[in-house]
Structure 1
Amino acid sequence: MTRSPATPLPPPKARRRLRETAALTQTQLADRVGVTPGTVRAWESGRTTPRGRKREAYAKLLKTLAEEETARQARQEQEKQEEQAKRNQEREQKQAQAQAQKQDQEGLREPELKPEPEPEPKPEPVALTPAQAFDALYAFSAPALVRQTFLLTGRREQARESVERAFQAAWERWPEVARDRDPVGWVRATAYEYALSPWQRLHPRHRHPEPPPADPGDRTLLNTLLRLPPRHRRTLVLYDGVGLDLPETAAETEASTPATANRLLRAREAVAGRLPALADPQVLHLRLAELASNERLRAAEPPTVRRGGERRARFWTRAAIAFTVALIGTTALTVRTAPTHYEPPVSPGQAVRGVPQRVAPGALSDEELELRQKLRDQLQDGPERLSPRLE
């Protein structure tokens, strides 16, 4: 029995854009699909993927929204073309009138026709291999992502490792990441999630603190950032550091737009409370850029990251295969040695009382020897038979 392929879905950011273009909230869309708003938020962020009937309903609704958006864009484009055509017609009429007046003044002389220049041939795009495309994306975005992640963690090695792990995850899912509308955003979200994971506290490097920045101002700003809650810190870095707008920041942090705005305001208030000179968002943006640029943060080479991800993927694949083989072997051994019928348990023994103890054999006493000799001398088959006698 073959399994039907899953219904294709647009990328996560396209799902959110279709919903916002249709002026629908996550709650309204969740009611139409039959799920919770948290599930819709997870679908739009790409953390989970719908399955089964929910996927069919969600795909059908997104297709309807896309068709409505296409029709709306077509109407707008048609209106724009009609307006442009009307403007061109009016301009042509004015030009014709001006030309007619000029011809009347010059004696109806026909203008000279100038040959139009031939268009230059456009160069054909060069197709890149997956490895070349990955290396280009890494070389373009990795240095900036390492500096941004350093603002979140305050640790240079953790920032570098988080970005490398994010790019390794992107290489494992490269077809999906390559088709994404914002591959840098996909990698950035993965790196931030790994950097802010609570499990990072169990790493041995947390036992040895790294040296702080040399500049006192940079050191104070970094300590202020690290005192913020992780969600507020991430929102502040994305909005004031990276320069994303509010909806994109909300989508990347998996929060609503009002909640993201509230986090941003609280983070700015906390920073301005300790550093009043950074109350202006523009000044704060420049200081964050300076803090990240003053640190010597280097990313590994793209081939090294790719090979590291491939080695990790092979390791976990072999580990999964070994675990599966061990599980199958254990199951087979259990089936082989398990009893095939019920065996009742043996009842516990009970002590029997009143039986004399068994005496160990040894030498016979004089009385026992006499008794044995007496038994041997006498007849063993009863008394002697009586016979009649004549007197």
Structure 2
Amino acid sequence: MTRSPGTPLPPPKARRRLREAAALTQAQLADRMGVTRATVRTWESGRTTPRGRKREAYADLLKTLAEEEAARAAEPAPGPGAEAGAPADAQPAPVPVVVAVRTGPGSPADDADSLVLPAKPLSAQDAREAGTDAAPAPDATPASDSGPAPEGKPDAETKPGAERRPGPRREPESGPAALTPAQAFDALYEFGTPALVRQTFLLTGRRELARESVERAFQTAWENWPEVARDRDPVGWVRAVAYEYALSPWQRFRPRNRQPEPPPADPGDRTLLNTLLRLPARHRRTLLLYDGVGLDLPETAAETEASTPTAANRLLNARRAMADRLPELADPEVLHRRLAEVASNERLRAAKPPTVRVGSERRARFWTRAAIAFTAALIGTTALTLRTAPTHYEPPVSPGETVRGVPPKVAPGALSDEELELRQKLRDALQAGPERLTPRLE
């Protein structure tokens, strides 16, 4: 069960880049949007997204900033290396766009047990949606090219004297079938889950919490799949949600998290993990993103919802604390390799992709039904109140008042001697029949 997409927005990292390129602070952008600075910070980190009119206004503002940036980039004259006879509308040479990650010795990027994720080239469509000026990869084929040119007829777009490179023959109707949303989600889950579970384990030191955090993050991604599918870095989107769930303050109140888990078997891994867990949560997350995952400083700052100088200070303090307790990890490359080794030595399990999707849909149905039940109960209570409420004004009954001057009601008391004697006489001389009714002369 997924939500319908709204107005398309650039990825969170592109939003931050456009704002910084326009020399705007988060407070200035918040004033233009009519929101708080914290709201803009959550938008740029990808934690939340605007909705309704705010989303449309934010999209228009980002579009304006992107147009201004493109206009500024087009102002400078061509460099000295440009050809004098080249036409004005000539396209630059294709440049591959990749996601930069840091890999250390002993931790290959394509290893399933590695801490980092392999780099993947971006297509021209992804680059355009991200708001960048990068060109497609060299092996990318233009969308307008439906097949090879007929023999004997030169290509109209080929310059005279240029050598045509033979390319693979494309069939117009027999291309690869597009992936369904479920298949794309399963591919993303299988690709990113092993590394994300190990990263979350280093962040929390708990195996079960790491697995639960990653699964909950992917469930949230499936609920917002149209937005995640268009994101330039979907694994980063899921990673941010998983880290937020794992570091939530409410986790300390769960009985399961109060009991310590078995530490790693290797003494060196156990010492490194304990030293890492002694750092503050923000410093630990910054160190893991920069030295473990391999993000650059602006991306680390954006994901941790902090400014670049603040992220740099957190990173320096975390490195200094690690070096004070473990001097052999003063070199960032050695620290990166050791983090990858500690994460790879733990055998962490994860659920299958269909299980995660079914759990996400079940949770969405549960909350939908709960909202419907609450709404129905509220409507029923309102209807019952309207049905039983009086339709006209009824004055209240006045309270009783004491009436003065009326003697109190006296109850019969004890009989006097004369009354007792008369009663006894009546009982002794009972007369029956007509004698009681006929008077008698004496």
Given the alignment of the two structures, is residue 262 of structure 1 paired with residue 313 of structure 2, yes or no? yes
Please show how residues 340-379 of structure 1 align to structure 2 within 5 Å: 340=391, 341-344=393-396, 347=399, 355-356=408-409, 358-359=411-412, 366=420, 369=423
Distance in 2, Cα, partners of 1:153 & 1:345: 68
Distance in 1, Cα, partners of 2:223 & 2:208: 23
Matched residue pairs, number? 342
Per-residue deviation, 1:208:
2.7
- Contact map agreement 2:219 2:359 (CA 8 A) in 1: yes
1:175 counterpart residue number: 226
Structure number with higher relative contact order (C-alpha < 8 Å, ≥ 6 residues apart): 2
Per-residue deviation, 1:222:
1.1
- Contact map agreement 2:47 2:240 (CA 8 A) in 1: no
Q: 1:117 to 1:283 in 2, by over 3 A?
A: closer
Deviations 1:1-20 (A, max 9, x none): xxxx9765433322112112
Higher helix fraction: Structure 1 or Structure 2?
1
Per-residue deviation, 1:25:
3.0
Greater shift after overlay, 328-337 or 158-167?
328-337
1:277 counterpart residue number: 328
What is the letter of the counterpart of residue 61 of structure 2?
A: L
Given the alignment of the two structures, is residue 146 of structure 1 paired with residue 144 of structure 2, yes or no? no
Greater shift after overlay, 261-270 or 45-54?
45-54
Per-residue deviation, 1:57:
5.0
2:168 counterpart residue number: 120
Distance in 2, Cα, partners of 1:157 & 1:137: 21
Where in structure 2 are there 5+ consecutive unaligned residues?
88-160, 428-442
2:239 counterpart residue number: 188
Per-residue deviation, 1:121:
1.7
Given the alignment of the two structures, is residue 47 of structure 1 paired with residue 42 of structure 2, yes or no? no
Per-residue deviation, 1:284:
0.8
Counterpart of 1:227 (choices 278, 291, 301) is 278
Deviations 1:26-79 (A, max 9, x none): 244345545443332222123344467755654443222111222344557x82
In our comparison, the structure showing a higher alpha carbon Rg is: 1
Greater shift after overlay, 352-361 or 331-340?
352-361
Q: 1:126 to 1:22 in 2, by over 3 A?
A: farther
Aligned to 2:263, the other structure's residue is in SS state coil
What is the letter of the counterpart of residue 22 of structure 1?
A: A
Where in structure 1 are there 5+ consecutive unaligned residues?
90-112, 374-391
Aligned to 2:190, the other structure's residue is in SS state helix
Please show how residues 246-261 of structure 1 align to structure 2 within 5 Å: 246-261=297-312
Deviations 1:179-212 (A, max 9, x none): 1111001000000000000111122212332111
Distance in 1, Cα, partners of 2:245 & 2:278: 19
Given the alignment of the two structures, is residue 207 of structure 1 paired with residue 258 of structure 2, yes or no? yes
Q: Percent identity?
A: 73
Greater shift after overlay, 233-242 or 122-131?
122-131
Q: 1:16 to 1:275 in 2, by over 3 A?
A: same
- Contact map agreement 2:206 2:261 (CA 8 A) in 1: yes
Per-residue deviation, 1:316:
1.3
RMSD: 3.4
Deviations 1:92-115 (A, max 9, x none): xxxxxxxxxxxxxxxxxxxxx9x9
Distance in 2, Cα, partners of 1:249 & 1:15: 15
Counterpart of 1:321 (choices 366, 372, 384) is 372
Distance in 2, Cα, partners of 1:185 & 1:294: 23
Q: 1:349 to 1:157 in 2, by over 3 A?
A: farther
Distance in 1, Cα, partners of 2:64 & 2:183: 37
